[in-house]
Each structure stands twice: as structure tokens, then as C-alpha cells.
Structure 1
């Protein structure tokens, strides 16, 4: 999802916290005309907005005498593009969750029987939600028992030892950006009076057990790493609505920017930043963690010249990397061939070596190491037999040491590729020293 779409979601969520927000229909009519999104992206954005609408509508009306409850069917009538099964089933599941959590607590069967189409699929989706709520609140909360006590339905989310932080300790201030399953905000931590970054799991993934586990795993893996070049994780928490968030250091910096040799100072600074990133990843590898998504946006540089690695959303423990990492996960322009097709070999430290080298190549030349104008074309090129030529003389004239280092890092076979981040850092450090 684009940054523009994420900003709209953040703004709408802030408005829904108000006592009298405008209707979603009016809101969408005002904003959709100015969107620079494809039709598919607009529909995805509308879907996320509808998920928010269901949650806040039922939550607000749980304590109000004026009942204006929104349903999935009503939203589809207003927005026919959401009638597709991939949108409608999750919308009904969210309605069921909101009604059980804040409203009239229907049984699974009674809820599913309202729908003539997709009844079985909706029954299955509601059953999954019921199981999740039962795990959170205990067996007395089971919707199959037909309990309809509003007092029970409105009890707070119980303590989760996996995510003990309280969202009440944080004052969200500003939207920062977003990834595939999370949105990041700047916040003020009240108890310690410090600025932090909070990463929230997207609402669309709240009932996706695999997405939730990945989100929790990101915090566990990154939280176990200790290095000044790796963002520090403070902990995990949950909001009153049940969403998970990760609290972490706020890095007041920018992603690495493209630099060419025509700017010698910038060129040296870029190589120094990549050296710092390689040293940080060498520490992570020594602790059995691979990042799997190194790219310019995930390498920040603050005003003091410190380089910090962020976003361990695809990170995996080395012992389990090939068991849990879905093929094709990663950023296409910097992805290693073995992440697309394991016929090239196993995912491991050399995967990150490729990713960091591909990042440097991109920042030096303005081009990806892979050819293609779409993700599918890039993935196809990544696993093709075409070998990558690093910094040939027709592109730009760099030292032979740099060309050789990148060439060894960008070999498609991970077994033949440069294996060590420490060695990459050492070789690039020597190049930086030669520029002094």
C-alpha cells in the first residue's frame, strides 16, 4: 500500500475517534477524487477503511443510546466493488468480531444463516474469530454458548504475556510510514517522557494468525539483537481493540540516498554507511538472524552519521529460515535469487550479502541489479541464467576493487557468492580509506 493510502487510513482513524465523524460515504467521495492510485489500490484502501468503520461503529455504539450500527452487507451496498469474495468474507468476519466484542453477540450459526451466499465460508470465518476470542477471554466468552451479556462483551482485552505494554502509556503524534503488514507512527511515551516509534499491525491482518505470528516474531528477533547499528526494540503491546504494536527507538534520520562518483564526499559517506550496515548485519548473523529485506528504505542514517538497520519484518532465525520464509518474500529490486526459487540454493547469510550489495548497486547507478518493469518480470530475471555485471565501464567508472567486491556479492548462486558480511565490510572499508 502506498504512503498516500496509509496517510488516509491514519487520518480516518483519528477522525473516527471523534464523537461525530462524517460518514464513510462522504469521506470517500471527498478523498477518492484526489487519489493517485490504481483502481486495485483504491479498492484495497477502501477495504481497509471499511474494516476500521466496522470496529469503531460497534465500539462507539456499545456505550451510546443512539444506535447506528454498520454491517458488512450495508458497506457492500454502498461500495459494490467490495462484493468480491476476497473482500466480503473478511468484512463479515470483522463484523462478527465487532458484534461479539461490542454488540449483540450472535451465535456463529445465527450469524452465518443471514447470508444466502457464501454461508459456509462465512461460518468458517466466524468460527475462526470465535476461537480467537475464546483464547483471549476464556471459555466463558465462547459465542457458541450464546452468551449475550453486554458487560461480558465489553470487558477489556485481557493481559497477554507476549505483549505486556499498555497503549495508554503512548501518545501517538504523527504517521511515519508503512510496510506490508504494519503502520509506523511517532509517539511520546508518557512514563519515560521520550519519543519512540510505534509499529501497529494493520487491522486487515488482525485475524490472520500467520500475520500475527510474523509480527510477534519480528519483535522477538529484533529485540534479541544488541548493536548500535540495529534499531532497539522496547517491547510488544496491545491496544484496547486488540491490535498489536511494537515500541522501538525513533531514528531521526533518512534512508540512504543515491550518490554518484561525481560527488566524492557523498560517495565516501555512502560507502561508509554501507560498511556500518555490513558490520551490524555481521553481528546479527553471528546471533543466527538473517534480515531478508535489506534495501535503501530499511537503512537509515541520522544527523550524526550513524547508520541504523530497521524493519526486521521478514527476518528469520537461521535455523528455520527455509522452513518459514515464503518464496518471493522481499523487495523485488534487491531480492536474492534463492528468495524467489530455492533451486538456486538455501537462504542464509549470503542472502543478506546479496541484498546489501544490490542496495549499494542501486544507490550508485540508479538501477536495480534485476531487469523488469513489474514484480513478476523482476522475479523472472532474478532466477534466470543472466549473470549480473556489477558496475561495468559503460555505466560508470569505479575502482576495480569496488567492481570486484560487488561482482562477488552479486553471484546468483549463494554457494559461490561472498559468504561473510565481515569480509564485505573489510573490503569496503579499505576502499573508503583509499579515498581519504
Structure 2
């Protein structure tokens, strides 16, 4: 859709990447809108595992442009093709990318295009999630302004007709936002993007990184879409049953059946990795450490039992750090209602918890005072009679 240049800021003497889109008319406005969204999200999140955007604007001769930090390295997609990452490095990249995506979810931002090509790995080993240009605070991926593609099924077209219609629109109109090979079934059918759909795309990325193949392979776009819509995950024959179970849950057709948080998925996945216990212990330690120093993840099933220390029984959290509230980001021309606010009407306020310890303390104090009064009452009566 455009060109990316490597440039130097003449004032700050730093290298930057400049993305330029050569379009006109309505497409020019849409490109500018996406660039503004990416800049706004970068400014609000300010996360070490997100690519930082420095500037956004329009040049008359070039069109809309986006200036961002230059990451010297290559994309995770390129690393997958080159097969040059070992198991531990791959897991570390996933943990870092998870942090960036979770930071966006905490603020009700849905990325909608999580894939290996949107994760950069610097030469220093830091993963950077990029391309929030199609992110929305309440992502809706409708492909047909007159009605959802599921109407094709109602008219008797079947899944294949739906997939062919979808593939045609993807290549012809560009209406679909995201990458079909990593998109969950509900998004392909026209439903809105949610954190659950991002978690599906993240799991699909992890699957390809660890196996070298897509969870739903196919020759061509139509075949891949058909596989996603009607076939189970293509588990490689050499994958362990435990790891297969993790991916089958993470890539479930029903969003309600998937993992409810990214840390929970990563914990289960790390626990199934082959290799010595020390490898998994290092990864769990990294998973429990927040590089942005804002919060820490409780690594429950730290699998400390494997180290002879017992299981704490704690569970990971995906909420905001204690003492802070998620910050709502209102993106340009987005619906006012965000993902969190849409859920607010379904969440009933919980009654305050009773402090039973305090109640017991007061009851004990009252009982003690009554006992003292009971013992002193006869003496007080005699004293009054004598007086």
C-alpha cells in the first residue's frame, strides 16, 4: 500500500522510518486517518514493546506520512521463513509481544492485525509490536455495508460460497482490515474485532512460530478461509498432545471457549515446551517480570511443583496495575463507545465485602466489657448500700 524509507532526523541526528502512502481522494483521507490512529495509540501507550511513532502529517508531493522509530532487525515473519530462532528465543519474543498487546487491551484498544509480519525483532533481542493503523476502540470488520456475509449461508450458498465471496472482496475491494490467515472465524464472517479475536491471532502467530506452518493451511486465500471456517486446527504429527490441546483451545471457533487472558495462554504454552525444566523456569521468570515496571503477572501455575516447591494455586491477572484505572483512548472518527463501556451495562456492581475479622474483634470487645461489668456489679451494689 505504500513505501517505507529509512531517513535521518537532521535535528536530533537519529535514524527514523517514514511510511508514505501514494493515494488520492477518499483513499488519501482513509490513509491519513489510519496514520493518526497509530500515532495516537503510540503516544498514549508508550510501551517498550511497541514501535514509537514520532510524527504524522501530509506532504503535498508525497501524501500522508508516518514517522516512527527505526528498528534495526527484521520481522518475526522473516525469522519464521529463515528458521533462525531457537525455542527459547521464540518463547521470549512471544512474551514481549504479549505485553504490548495486553497493554493495548487494558485500554480497550483492539489491534485487529496481529501477525508475524507486524512483530519486529531488533538486533538487541527486543520485540516490537507495530501497525496499529487499523486498530479501533470498538473494532468492527463488516465487509458489506448492506449486510453480513453470513447471508450467503442463509441463501444456501454454503461455506465454500462464503469463502469465495470473501476472498473475492479481499482482493478486489480491500474492505477487509487485517490478515485472513490469522483472523478468527467470527471476524471473517463480519463480526466486530474484540480482545478475544486478537488473542486468536496471537495464538495463530505462536503456532506458526513454533511449528513453521499455519494452523489453517491452504493453497490460496480461498482454501485458507474455507479451512478456518469449517476445519479443525491442523496439528502437526510431531506436536505433543498437551501442546495440541493448548492450541486447540486458544484457536477455538467459539470465542467463549478460548483462553480469557494472554498470560494464561502463555503459561499453558510454556508448560508444554520440550526441553529441561530450567528452560521453562527461565521463561516463567520472564513471564512474571514486567519490563515496563507497571505491574507484575502472578505466574500461578509457575509449575514450581516441577522444582519441588509446590504449586501456589494463584492465577494470572490481566487487569490494570493496582491503584490505576484503564485509560480510555478515543480514536479519530471511532464510535464513542469502547469495548469496556459496551460490557459495563452487563456488569452489575458487586456488594461490598463484609469485614468479618473486624466484626469478630468488636464482638469480643463487647463480650469482654459485659464480663467486667458482671464481675463488678455485686461490688458496686455493696458500695452503694454502705454509702
- TM-score, normalised relative to structure 2: 0.57
CA distance in 1, matches of 2:66, 2:53: 7
The structure-2 alpha-carbon separation of the partners of 1:268 and 1:402, relative to structure 1 and needing over 3 Å to count, comes to farther
Q: Residue by residue, what CA displacement relative to the aligned partner does 1:132-179 show, whole Å, maximum 9, x if unpaired?
A: xxxxxxxxxxxxxxxxxxxxxxxxxxxxxxxxxxxxxxxxxxxxxxxx
- Name whichever of 242-251 and 277-286 sits farther off: 242-251
Instruction: Find the counterpart in structure 1 of residue 140 from structure 2.
Output: 322
CA distance in 1, matches of 2:117, 2:141: 26
- Name whichever of 204-213 and 352-361 sits farther off: 204-213
What is the aligned counterpart of 1:341 among 170, 189, 200? 189
User: What is the SS of the residue equivalent to 1:316?
Assistant: coil
1:346 offset after TM fit, Å? 4.4
1:401 offset after TM fit, Å? 4.3
Q: Note the residue ranges of structure 2 that are not aligned, 5 or more in a row.
A: 145-174, 280-387
User: What is the SS of the residue equivalent to 1:290?
Assistant: coil
User: What is the SS of the residue equivalent to 2:246?
Assistant: helix
CA distance in 1, matches of 2:141, 2:114: 20
Instruction: Find the counterpart in structure 2 of residue 296 from structure 1.
Output: 116
What is the aligned counterpart of 1:405 among 246, 258, 278? 246
Q: Residue by residue, what CA displacement relative to the aligned partner does 1:308-351 show, whole Å, maximum 9, x if unpaired?
A: 1111222221xx21277887422122122122104xx6421111
After superposition, the CA RMSD in angstroms is 2.9
1:246 offset after TM fit, Å? 1.1
CA distance in 2, matches of 1:431, 1:196: 39
What is the aligned counterpart of 1:434 among 277, 289, 294? 277
CA distance in 2, matches of 1:213, 1:221: 12
Does structure 1 residue 359 correspond to structure 2 residue 205? yes
- TM-score, normalised relative to structure 1: 0.51
Does structure 1 residue 414 correspond to structure 2 residue 255? yes
What is the aligned counterpart of 1:374 among 204, 220, 235? 220
Any runs of at least 4 consecutive aligned residues in structure 1 with deviations exceeding 4 A, and if so which? 204-208, 323-327, 429-433
Instruction: Find the counterpart in structure 2 of residue 14 from structure 1.
Output: none
Q: Which one has more relative contact order, counting CA pairs under 8 Å at least 6 apart?
A: 2
1:259 offset after TM fit, Å? 8.6
Equivalences, count: 245
- Name whichever of 416-425 and 203-212 sits farther off: 203-212
CA distance in 1, matches of 2:127, 2:48: 8
CA distance in 1, matches of 2:131, 2:2: 10
Pair member with larger Rg: 2
